[in-house]
Structure formats: structure tokens, C-alpha cells
Chain A
Amino acid sequence: NAGVMQNPRHLVRRRGQEARLRCSPMKGHSHVYWYRQLPEEGLKFMVYLQKENIIDESGMPKERFSAEFPKEGPSILRIQQVVRGDSAAYFCASSPPGREKRGYTFGSGTRLTVV
């Protein structure tokens, strides 16, 4: 039973390029969450998605950032025209359906470095 799979583990992009981060939730999990973590900081919520739906994107920057969770395939966090300040670890988490909140299972993260 594979856990939450994120790729790539490390991603280096030059300023102005696009970054695409992928997340495959655990089998049976239909809820996906993206969090950003700066060095020595906590995790900051970005977006919550279910299949083909964005449920809560209150933590997403208004520009350059977008997320999707298509019917088929992984969830994608896309950052256009990256800047140095986008350098961070991006973690994806998933949870099973149901109103009762359960602990999230996190992936290993993607460490994005913008040079």
C-alpha cells in the first residue's frame, strides 16, 4: 500500500521558469492538500482539492500559482514565472473521505530551489 507519492523530490528552476509539482494520494484517499514550508517554519496551507474540484484555495497566492486534481492522474501544483521567494519545501497530504477529520498522510515533499 504505497503512501502519498510526490515527485520530483528536488527541483531546481531558474527565475522566470515554470515549476510543476506532482502528488499521487494514497489509494482510497480522495482529498488532497498542498502545504508550503519555509526553512525553520511551520507548514502553511495552500489549497485543498477533491477530484476535479478545488474546495478551499484561501492559502494560494492570487498570481502565478494554480492547482488541479483531475479525474485521472496526480494532483499538480503549478508555479509560473518562479521567483527566489518561491524556494521552499512543498508537501502534499491526503486523507480519506468522511466528515470526521483524520490525520493527514504526507508525502516526502518536493524541495524547490529557484536560482
Chain B
Amino acid sequence: GQQVMQIPQYQHVQEGEDFTTYCNSSTTLSNIQWYKQRPGGHPVFLIQLVKSGEVKKQKRLTFQFGEAKKNSSLHITATQTTDVGTYFCAGNYGGSQGNLIFGKGTKLSVKP
């Protein structure tokens, strides 16, 4: 079946260091979404990427969608303690009307 692989599973950084999480799908995606979940909280939508090779920025966060629309990355520059949480990518394959396939997430911890 369709699967979205996400690495790394955990990432521990010192405050001020950069952070990157990667998502990969074996088949072409219609679009990909990114979510953040704080400890004990619920997923919060960050962004959606649709076009091949698309790059979007939100302050210190940079999101990329691969040329083949099979992979994506989220890069955070100069992490802060407020960035702590789990970052999930979620792939949409277009066929199913509502079935977003989530990766297992990357849990980010930031040491002050």
C-alpha cells in the first residue's frame, strides 16, 4: 500500500542549531502537507505543497517538494525552544478523496 517514510525519528539539537526532517514516498504524490504537534497536543497544519520543485518559507521554516513529487523536506534555521514538538508530513495521493497518509513524524527536542 501507499506509505510515507519520514526520517529521522528523533532529533536532539542545541538551541540555535539547524534541523531538517525528510519525507519519502514510493509513488508520486498529488500534494504533501506538514503538521506540527506539541507534546500532549493535537496536529496543527503548517503548509501544503502542490507543485513539483516547490519551495515555501515561513519565517525560519523552509519547505521543499521534490521535482518528482515523491519527497519533501522541512528545514528549520536556528532552532528555538518553541520549536519543540513532533513534525509530521502527510501525503495525498489524489485517488482517495480524503485519505491523507501520515509519516511517523520526527520528534524534535531543543536544548537551551
Residues of A within 8 A of B (CB): 31, 33, 35, 40-45, 48, 55-56, 58-59, 91, 93, 101-109
Contact = CB atoms under 8 A, between A and B. Distances in A.
A91 B43 contact: yes
Given A35-B102, A101-B31, 9 more contacts: A43-B88, A43-B102, A59-B99, A101-B30, A101-B33, A103-B45, A103-B46, A104-B33, A109-B42
B96 A58 contact: yes
B42 A45 contact: no
B84 to A, nearest CB: 15
Contacts, number: 63
Contacts of A106: 35, 42-45
Contacts of B46: 103
Contacts of B99: 45, 48, 56, 58-59
Nearest to B94: A101
B55 interface: no
A37 B99 CA distance: 15
Nearest to A46: B99
A68 to B, nearest CB: 16
Contact of A42 (B42, B97, B98, B105): B105
B98 A31 contact: yes
A103 B48 contact: yes
Contacts of B96: 48, 56, 58
Contact of A55 (B43, B48, B97, B107): B97
